[in-house]
């Protein structure tokens, strides 16, 4: 198959590279000359483990190329995937589909023969039918179909998610389009991965329902964690106990400082807006959004309590600022709420993150960036463990405590055991869903 992928952001680039690894002929298109230049040099503009090796393998094999020229790139393509951004629209919380529609119009004007135009971007229910109207208006004579093919890629594990998916969702209106999509995903079908072919609206809704459910699960365990702190229960034990129930499952039950990233915040807001527009309020999802923001603010108070109610004059070491490990993405990261509060309260903040600095320098002005955790804690009054990078999971706790002016730890990912932290020289330890501890 010949496939063009419009957009070389996270979804577009991962999809294009993986499609090429299936054996398809792929052209990835972007208007950003800097990105295309980087990719042609074999450089990856995002951090995603393993992506560079697959990109190199397929460019060398001639299956993967990059271009700024959309009209040329789509000529002869069996399918064109639209993978451009759909950011939250200011003022109403809805997903902004203007980039999707612009790409569709450009495809329509350039296409010559039959083509399936596939929406990979996350879009509100009904968008693909609107897209078809845009294409018809731009080129009434074009022979085409539209398809919805939402992505379910976890940042940091995107290659495995694409190559070994829980399922592939395909929304179509015709058997012809279904056949093209089946041919594209044939390598997965042959390995018995589920391919769910449905209608356009159901495919669009599946994406929002999945992300809203997962965001709800995270927020539920975070609320339970707050109750555990008041009642003396341990949220890690609670999560383990309920996670063995097959109806619940153990994934997304890790209490923390709130969800962030490129998908959950944006998609929950969009689903809430879709519900409002259709007269069916998504009350659970609306509450999830509200509680998640509340959880982030609670973290600030947790840190303030550890610092005797004041950040003024304190030196705070923050370990990790990306919204999760194995990504450089800081969109909606809890760090964007917590770190400014520390600075605003008069603290000096030192930050270390394996891949967060490139984005973080612009998003977190006023912090000092250091190379590692041990540099961050020198003379510090508080250590905040904010992102669960592997580099932070087996630190020398005694070395950290010895280097600090006042060894206090806020473990907002519940990585360490309280007794181990206190036995290593820390005088106080707080975490999520467990009672704060102090050394006798």
Output the six-digit token pair for 379. Answer: 């003379």
Q: How many residues does the chain have?
A: 440
State the Cα–Cα distance between residues 400 and 417, nearest whole angstrom.
15
Q: Are 185 and 40 in contact (CB under 8 A)?
A: no
263 tagged catalytic:
yes
Please state, as a whole number, how many other Cβ atoms lie within 10 Å of the Cβ of residue 192: 7
Q: Which residues contact 69 (CB under 8 A, 6 or more apart)?
A: 29
Q: What does the DSSP 8-state code read for residue 391?
A: G
With a CB cutoff of 8 Å and minimum separation 6, the contacts of 120 are 5, 11, 12, 15, 81, 82, 83, 149, 150, 151
Rg, C-alpha atoms of the chain: 24
Distance CA 2, CA 345 (A): 56
For CA atoms 307, 313, 317, 323, the dihedral sign is: positive
Residue with tokens 């977190």, as numbered in its chain: 364
Structure tokens at 57: 């393998």
Look at residue 317 and give its three-state secondary structure: strand
- Among 18, 228, 263, 307, the active-site one is 263
Closest CA to 261 of 333, 339, 156, 354: 333
- Count how many Cα atoms sit within 13 Å of the Cα of residue 343 in the half-sphere of its side chain: 15
Residues identified as active-site: 263
């Amino acid at each position: 198959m010949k496939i063009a992928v419009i957009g070389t952001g996270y979804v577009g680039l991962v999809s294009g590279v993986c499609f090429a690894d299936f054996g398809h002929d792929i052209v990835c298109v972007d208007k950003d000359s800097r990105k295309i230049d980087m990719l042609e040099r074999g450089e990856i503009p995002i951090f995603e483990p393993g992506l560079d090796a697959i990109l190199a393998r397929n460019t060398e094999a001639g299956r993967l190329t990059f271009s700024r020229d959309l009209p040329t790139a789509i000529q002869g393509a069996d399918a064109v995937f639209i993978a451009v951004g759909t950011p939250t629209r200011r003022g109403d919380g809805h997903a902004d589909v203007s980039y999707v529609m612009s790409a569709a119009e450009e495809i329509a004007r350039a296409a010559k023969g039959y083509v399936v135009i596939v929406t990979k971007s996350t879009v509100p229910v009904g968008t693909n039918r609107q897209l078809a109207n845009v294409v018809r208006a731009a080129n009434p004579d074009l022979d085409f179909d539209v398809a919805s093919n939402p992505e379910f890629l976890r940042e940091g594990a995107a290659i495995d998610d694409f190559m070994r998916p829980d399922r592939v969702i395909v929304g179509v209106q015709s058997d012809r389009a279904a056949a093209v999509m089946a041919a594209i995903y044939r390598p997965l079908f042959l390995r018995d991965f589920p391919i769910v072919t449905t209608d356009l609206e159901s495919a669009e809704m599946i994406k929002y329902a999945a992300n809203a459910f997962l965001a709800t699960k995270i927020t539920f365990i975070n609320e339970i964690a707050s109750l555990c702190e008041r009642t003396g229960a341990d949220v890690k034990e609670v999560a383990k106990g309920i996670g063995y129930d097959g109806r619940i499952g153990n994934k997304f039950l890790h209490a923390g400082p709130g969800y962030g990233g490129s998908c959950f915040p944006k998609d929950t807001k969009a689903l809430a807006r879709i519900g409002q527009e259709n007269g069916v309020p998504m009350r659970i999802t609306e509450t999830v959004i509200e509680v998640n923001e509340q959880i982030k603010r609670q973290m600030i108070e947790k840190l303030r309590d550890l610092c005797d109610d004041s950040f003024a004059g304190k030196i705070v070491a923050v370990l990790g600022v990306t919204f999760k490990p194995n990504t450089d993405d800081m969109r909606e990261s809890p760090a964007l709420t917590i770190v400014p509060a520390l600075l605003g309260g008069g603290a000096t903040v030192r930050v270390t993150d394996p891949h967060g600095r490139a984005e973080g320098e612009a998003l977190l002005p006023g912090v000092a960036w250091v190379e590692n955790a041990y540099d961050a804690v020198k003379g510090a009054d508080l250590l905040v463990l904010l992102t669960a990078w592997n580099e932070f999971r087996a630190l020398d706790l005694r070395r950290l405590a010895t280097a600090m002016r006042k060894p206090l730890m806020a473990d907002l990912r519940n990585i360490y055991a309280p007794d181990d932290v206190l036995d290593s020289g820390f005088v106080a330890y707080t975490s999520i869903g467990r009672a704060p501890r102090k050394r006798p």
